[in-house]
């Protein structure tokens, strides 16, 4: 809690950076917020600026600290301050969007959500249908400090599920600024070095369906909502196996090539509506999905010996690039595939 005892003290301790600061006072269920400008906040008690109802933490940046003599909770700025001090800015303030692909706390999607939240954005989530899947996704989201996440089931292989997700999202939110596609699937039986040539038609098609077509299916449903919001950013996760042969990546490489190409065609068509579409080519990371890839150990061993940065990527580094792609800082970037892989893709031999 950083020893923060009351709002005045919180304000004083947060002046160092010279940023405007959002603070709140109230109970955990209903609290009032105010933005104090740098020039006026020194030593002052919080002003009221509207009430936010609901449970949960606001963007995960506020922490409630009891103030017994006032019989209320003040809001500690320790997380807020952490955000301000870590980044010096909140580049995603006001942005809200949908994240597909949080399976657990190691998912690339979880790291992306963490960065988005840290930088002031809000996230809604989907999980694979089923109570166990919901519990797993919810646990990962709660680990980010979000206790009241908007979350609905979705099998992206079903059009009716995607229709339902976007309809429900539109009902619950007034805008859609971003969509994160961080999902993939292929039968693990065919993700074995030397097995690509045996891939059955059905496995080949289902890999492309779930891992690539779904990006187009999501973009189609997101576009009208993003148009109403003045534009948006759609991003998907890819891997270098789309371009070069990585033993074991096999049909997933084919699906990633389709995904990257799908992103370019979408970018070309949706750009007029100020909707940007990009892919991130992430380095190997141990996750549920990557554990199905036969060559994952070799990929993880190879990168630290060959990559310019001489190490494997960390999930938060992909999270940071994703937040940048969602933010207006990347407003001129669309149709790109951005490598976040410690540079290993530039090495020939
Ligand atoms: N981990 C890596 O090494 C690595 C590297 C580069 C790119 N990627 C890509 O990152 C993305 C996220 O994967 P991850 O590594 O975080 O693993 P992960 O297992 O944490 O995430 C994969 C997600 O795909 C979802 N999914 C699978 N089938 C689905 C369906 N039919 N409908 C909806 N969701 C479905 C799963 O529920 C899960 O949340 C994938 O596109 C993956 O190919 C991963």
- pLDDT value for 150: 98
How many helices (DSSP H) and strands (DSSP E) are in the chain?
Answer: 10, 12
Residue 239 Cβ contacting ligand 1 at under 6 Å:
yes
pLDDT digits (tens, 9 = 90+) for 79-104: 333 333 344 459 999 999 999 999 99
Distance CA 141, CA 150 (A): 10
Distance CA 104, CA 297 (A): 20
- pLDDT value for 2: 33
Tell me which residue has tokens 């979880």: 110
- pLDDT value for 43: 36
Active site residues: 239, 249
Q: Which two tokens stand for residue 114?
A: 């963490």
Coil, strand or helix: which one is 53? strand
Q: Which domains does the chain have, with CATH numbers?
A: 7-87 (no CATH), 96-346 (3.40.50.720)
Q: Which two tokens stand for residue 58?
A: 């606001």
Ligand 1 centroid – CA 211 distance (Å): 8
> Does the structure show a pLDDT above 80 at 73?
no
Kindly report the number of other CB atoms within 10 A of residue 138's CB atom: 17
- pLDDT value for 10: 32
- pLDDT value for 85: 30
Ligand 1 centroid – CA 101 distance (Å): 6
Residue among 158, 182, 312, 315 to mutate when testing ligand 1 (max atoms within 8 A of CB): 182
Distance CA 281, CA 257 (A): 11
- Element of type H or E holding 36: strand 30-36
Distance CA 280, CA 337 (A): 5
| Percent of residues, the chain, with pLDDT higher than 70 | 74
Mean pLDDT of the region 331-347: 98
Contacts of 145 (CB under 8 A, 6+ apart): 57, 60, 79, 117
Distance CA 147, CA 157 (A): 28
Distance CA 188, CA 130 (A): 21
φ, ψ for residue 339 (rounded to 5)?
-80, 130
């Amino acid at each position: 809690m950083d020893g923060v005892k009351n709002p005045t003290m919180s304000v004083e301790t947060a002046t160092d950076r010279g940023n405007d600061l959002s603070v709140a006072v109230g109970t955990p269920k209903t609290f009032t917020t105010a933005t104090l400008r740098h020039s006026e906040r020194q030593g002052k008690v919080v002003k009221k600026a509207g009430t936010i109802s609901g449970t949960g933490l606001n963007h995960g940046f506020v922490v409630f600290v009891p103030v017994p003599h006032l019989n209320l909770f003040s809001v500690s700025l320790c997380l807020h301050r952490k955000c301000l001090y870590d980044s010096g800015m909140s580049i995603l303030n006001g942005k809200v969007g949908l994240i597909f692909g949080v399976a657990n706390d190691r998912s690339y999607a979880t790291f992306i959500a963490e960065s988005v939240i840290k930088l002031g954005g809000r996230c809604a989530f989907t999980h694979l249908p089923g109570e166990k899947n919901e519990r797993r996704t919810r646990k990962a989201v709660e680990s980010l400090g979000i206790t009241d996440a908007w979350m609905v089931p979705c099998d992206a292989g079903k059009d009716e599920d995607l229709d339902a997700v976007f309809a429900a999202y539109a009902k619950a939110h007034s805008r859609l600024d971003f969509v994160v596609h961080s999902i993939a699937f292929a039968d693990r039986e065919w993700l074995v070095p030397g097995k690509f040539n045996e891939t059955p038609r059905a496995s080949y098609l289902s890999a492309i369906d779930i891992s690539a077509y779904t990006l187009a299916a999501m973009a189609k449903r997101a576009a009208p909502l993003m148009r109403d919001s003045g534009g948006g950013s759609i991003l998907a996760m890819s891997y270098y196996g789309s371009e070069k042969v990585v033993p074991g990546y096999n049909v997933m490489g084919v699906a990633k090539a389709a995904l990257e190409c799908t992103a370019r065609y979408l970018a070309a068509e949706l750009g007029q509506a100020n909707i940007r579409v990009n892919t991130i080519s992430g380095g190997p990371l141990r996750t549920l999905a990557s554990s199905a890839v036969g060559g994952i150990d070799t990929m993880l061993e190879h990168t630290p010996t060959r990559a310019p940065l001489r190490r494997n990527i960390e999930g938060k580094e992909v999270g940071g690039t994703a937040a940048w792609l969602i933010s207006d800082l990347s407003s001129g970037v669309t149709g790109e595939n951005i490598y976040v892989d410690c540079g290993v893709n530039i090495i020939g031999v």
